[in-house]
Chain A
Amino acid sequence: MDGAAVRLGGRTIWKDVDLTIGAGEYVALLGPNGAGKSTLLKAVLGVQPLSAGTVTVLGRRVRRGNDAIGYLPQRRWFDPDLRVRGIDLVRLGLDGSHWGLPLRRRRDWRRRVDDVIDLVGAGAYAHRSIGELSGGEQQRLLIAQALVTGASVLLLDEPLESLDLNNQQAISGLVRRVCREQGVTVLLVAHDVNPVLPHLDQVVYVARTRALSGRPADVIRTDTLTSLYEAPVEVLRTSDGRLLVVGQQETMSFHPQG
């Protein structure tokens, strides 16, 4: 991103954002509620147009429907009565945007779907109705859907929200595995950095219309965050190694999970 800015409804969400993410990096997007983290993700995705500046992905301008980018939106739920299988959902990730009848039989697509489902470990329940599955199971399938096009960039918007601790660890482990083993660049929006902190290459901290990026140790510090928030902010480390950010009226998004 270079000098990027987004204005929505007369309000500047963020501006003068410069950041660079290298291939295969595991990056967390942090910040308080309403700071514009999802908006930044959508800008990379190409569905949120910029008011200023540019954003390029893999060397090219962003556009919607880019097969190289996989996307997991926030808070997706499926009607428990929805009669569609998980594997069908993953398949739609591959050809759901194609019009008309399939021109030729794509057996290799079938194999690709099976492969990606195995990758995320959802083989046991991929043939069940998606509405019947638990949150963690659904999330695995949705990650599979995001990756099925052979994406090299994976954007996840709060993937661990509303999951219990076990599932959070499982999913964040899965994401790490995908990143390292498949070489996928991961940009993940999180409420709490702690589950993913050990694996991060970079952190992008968005607050008060500005964004700060860098290594976690450099960004999540008392002095850095205080200057970002323009208000007193303290970063504490708990006895078991977790980070805790404490501040004033601004909604503090870091809190120990549990």
Chain B
Amino acid sequence: MFGRWSSRRSSAWSGLVGMAVALLAVVGCAGGTPATSSSGVLEVVAAENFWGSIVSQIGGKHVHVTSIIASPDADPHDYEPTPNDAKTIARARYVVVNGAGYDPWASKLVDSNPASGRQTLTIADLFGKKDGDNPHLWYSPDYVGQFIERVTGDLKKMDSANAADYDQQSAQYKTQGLKGYHDAIAAIKQKYSGTPVGASESIFAYLSPALGLDLITPPAYLKAVTEGTDISPADKATVQQQIAGKQIKVFVFNSQNSTPDVQQAVDQARAKGIPVTQITETLTPATATFQDWQTKQLQDLLGALGG
């Protein structure tokens, strides 16, 4: 029996070694995947649909944008990428990733399939945001503006033949596409600057300064809810006090990240007659454009503040 075991073991080992050699041979031959743009359309992949929406409006008919997180049910934090996602990224010419620890799987997919000619834009790097900073960069109008500039520049470099189109589409987007968005922001800032408000998580923290609103919810509370960690009893008490004492005019909550604690705060606010508005993390509905989605949310907020 021992002799048989040895031969079985060694034949198993040699089988494995053979397989490994075969694999290495294929790997050696295949090498990296060249990123080609067929039929003149630039393949773009955005990790999240809100960034994808902006890029597709800047790029127009010269780009084909695929967003990986495209459904309101998908959570970018713990998304499990499928082989299709990996293929899409491998074939893309331009990849847009949020960064700052928001979508680490996306960077991993980029790294596992190096492709010559492919460019990756990690948005957090543009603004020096690192893992641990608030990653919800698309809620900052200023960052959105800078993003548009950067994308326009990148598209022009990659596809210089259509540079003029990109410039024109970008300018149009900024002045017309985003008009409602900027108008709503201006309206809130003009009428309600300095108003104290509360929020359920840090997603709102980039938007409130742009609107001139004073977000008084404790930052630790916001961070804890965003990351799904425990909220300290002290912070919970503070938020309850703020609601009970009607220290906030409006409570803004992220309906895609609603824990029992958040739900409790929402219920309490409503009971106290404090208006509650809803914002979401990704495009809602999934087919909306970035500006329509954001503008609607801003208008709801304006209404809640008092119109």
Rounded to whole angstroms, the CA-CA distance of A157 and B187 in the bound complex is 92
Check A91–B6 contact: CB distance below 8 A. Answer: no
Instruction: Enumerate chain B residues within 8 angstroms of A105, measured Cβ to Cβ.
Output: 2-3, 6
Q: Give the size of the chain B interface in residues (CB under 8 angstroms).
A: 5
How far, in Å, is A200 (CB) from chain B's closest CB?
Answer: 37
Check B6–A110 contact: CB distance below 8 A. Answer: no
Check A106–B1 contact: CB distance below 8 A. Answer: no
Does any Cβ of B come within 8 Å of A76's Cβ? Answer: no
Instruction: Enumerate chain B residues within 8 angstroms of A113, measured Cβ to Cβ.
Output: 1
Does any Cβ of B come within 8 Å of A241's Cβ? Answer: no
Instruction: Enumerate chain B residues within 8 angstroms of A101, measured Cβ to Cβ.
Output: 6, 9
Rounded to whole angstroms, the CA-CA distance of A107 and B2 in the bound complex is 7
Check B1–A87 contact: CB distance below 8 A. Answer: yes
Rounded to whole angstroms, the CA-CA distance of A105 and B2 in the bound complex is 7
Rounded to whole angstroms, the CA-CA distance of A78 and B224 in the bound complex is 50
How far, in Å, is A60 (CB) from chain B's closest CB?
Answer: 29
The closest CB in chain A to the CB of B6 belongs to A105
Rounded to whole angstroms, the CA-CA distance of A174 and B2 in the bound complex is 27
Rounded to whole angstroms, the CA-CA distance of A106 and B3 in the bound complex is 7
Q: Which of B1-35 contact A (CB under 8 A)?
A: 1-3, 6, 9
Kindly state the interface size class of chain A when it binds its partner: 10 to 19
The closest CB in chain B to the CB of A104 belongs to B6
Does any Cβ of B come within 8 Å of A10's Cβ? Answer: no
Instruction: Enumerate chain A residues within 8 angstroms of B6, measured Cβ to Cβ.
Output: 101-102, 105
Q: Which of A81-105 contact B (CB under 8 A)?
A: 87, 91, 95, 101-102, 105
Instruction: Enumerate chain B residues within 8 angstroms of A95, measured Cβ to Cβ.
Output: 2
Instruction: Enumerate chain B residues within 8 angstroms of A102, measured Cβ to Cβ.
Output: 2, 6
Rounded to whole angstroms, the CA-CA distance of A102 and B6 in the bound complex is 8
How far, in Å, is A227 (CB) from chain B's closest CB?
Answer: 54
Rounded to whole angstroms, the CA-CA distance of A101 and B7 in the bound complex is 12
Rounded to whole angstroms, the CA-CA distance of A107 and B1 in the bound complex is 8
Instruction: Enumerate chain A residues within 8 angstroms of B2, measured Cβ to Cβ.
Output: 91, 95, 102, 105-107, 109-110
Instruction: Enumerate chain A residues within 8 angstroms of B3, measured Cβ to Cβ.
Output: 105-107, 110
How far, in Å, is A106 (CB) from chain B's closest CB?
Answer: 6
Instruction: Enumerate chain B residues within 8 angstroms of A87, measured Cβ to Cβ.
Output: 1
Instruction: Enumerate chain B residues within 8 angstroms of A91, measured Cβ to Cβ.
Output: 1-2
How far, in Å, is A188 (CB) from chain B's closest CB?
Answer: 30
Rounded to whole angstroms, the CA-CA distance of A87 and B4 in the bound complex is 14
Q: Mark A210-243, 1 if CB is under 8 A from B, else 0.
A: 0000000000000000000000000000000000
Instruction: Enumerate chain A residues within 8 angstroms of B1, measured Cβ to Cβ.
Output: 87, 91, 110, 113
Rounded to whole angstroms, the CA-CA distance of A91 and B2 in the bound complex is 9
How far, in Å, is B292 (CB) from chain A's closest CB?
Answer: 62
How far, in Å, is A253 (CB) from chain B's closest CB?
Answer: 41
How far, in Å, is B101 (CB) from chain A's closest CB?
Answer: 45
How far, in Å, is A98 (CB) from chain B's closest CB?
Answer: 11
The closest CB in chain A to the CB of B10 belongs to A101
The closest CB in chain B to the CB of A107 belongs to B3
How far, in Å, is B200 (CB) from chain A's closest CB?
Answer: 51
How far, in Å, is B67 (CB) from chain A's closest CB?
Answer: 50
The closest CB in chain A to the CB of B5 belongs to A102
Rounded to whole angstroms, the CA-CA distance of A105 and B5 in the bound complex is 9
How far, in Å, is A65 (CB) from chain B's closest CB?
Answer: 20
Rounded to whole angstroms, the CA-CA distance of A109 and B2 in the bound complex is 8
How far, in Å, is B125 (CB) from chain A's closest CB?
Answer: 50
How far, in Å, is A123 (CB) from chain B's closest CB?
Answer: 14
How far, in Å, is B7 (CB) from chain A's closest CB?
Answer: 8
Instruction: Enumerate chain B residues within 8 angstroms of A106, measured Cβ to Cβ.
Output: 2-3
Instruction: Enumerate chain A residues within 8 angstroms of B9, measured Cβ to Cβ.
Output: 101
How far, in Å, is A88 (CB) from chain B's closest CB?
Answer: 8
Rounded to whole angstroms, the CA-CA distance of A102 and B9 in the bound complex is 11
Rounded to whole angstroms, the CA-CA distance of A105 and B6 in the bound complex is 7
Q: Which of A177-202 contact B (CB under 8 A)?
A: none
Rounded to whole angstroms, the CA-CA distance of A105 and B3 in the bound complex is 5
Instruction: Enumerate chain B residues within 8 angstroms of A107, measured Cβ to Cβ.
Output: 2-3
Rounded to whole angstroms, the CA-CA distance of A110 and B7 in the bound complex is 14
How far, in Å, is B290 (CB) from chain A's closest CB?
Answer: 59
The closest CB in chain A to the CB of B3 belongs to A105
From B2, B3, B6, residue with most partner A Cβ within 10 Å? B2
Q: Mark A98-129, 1 if CB is under 8 A from B, else 0.
A: 00011001110110010000000000000000
Q: Which of B231-284 contact A (CB under 8 A)?
A: none
Please name 20 pairs of A and B residues whose Cβ atoms are closer than 8 Å in the assembled complex, sorted by A: A87-B1, A91-B1, A91-B2, A95-B2, A101-B6, A101-B9, A102-B2, A102-B6, A105-B2, A105-B3, A105-B6, A106-B2, A106-B3, A107-B2, A107-B3, A109-B2, A110-B1, A110-B2, A110-B3, A113-B1
Please name the 7 residue pairs, one residue from A and one from B, whose CB atoms are nearest each other, closest first: A105-B3, A106-B2, A110-B2, A105-B6, A110-B1, A107-B3, A109-B2
A102-B2, A113-B1 given; name 15 further pairs at CB < 8 Å.
A91-B1, A91-B2, A95-B2, A101-B6, A102-B6, A105-B2, A105-B3, A106-B2, A106-B3, A107-B2, A107-B3, A109-B2, A110-B1, A110-B2, A110-B3
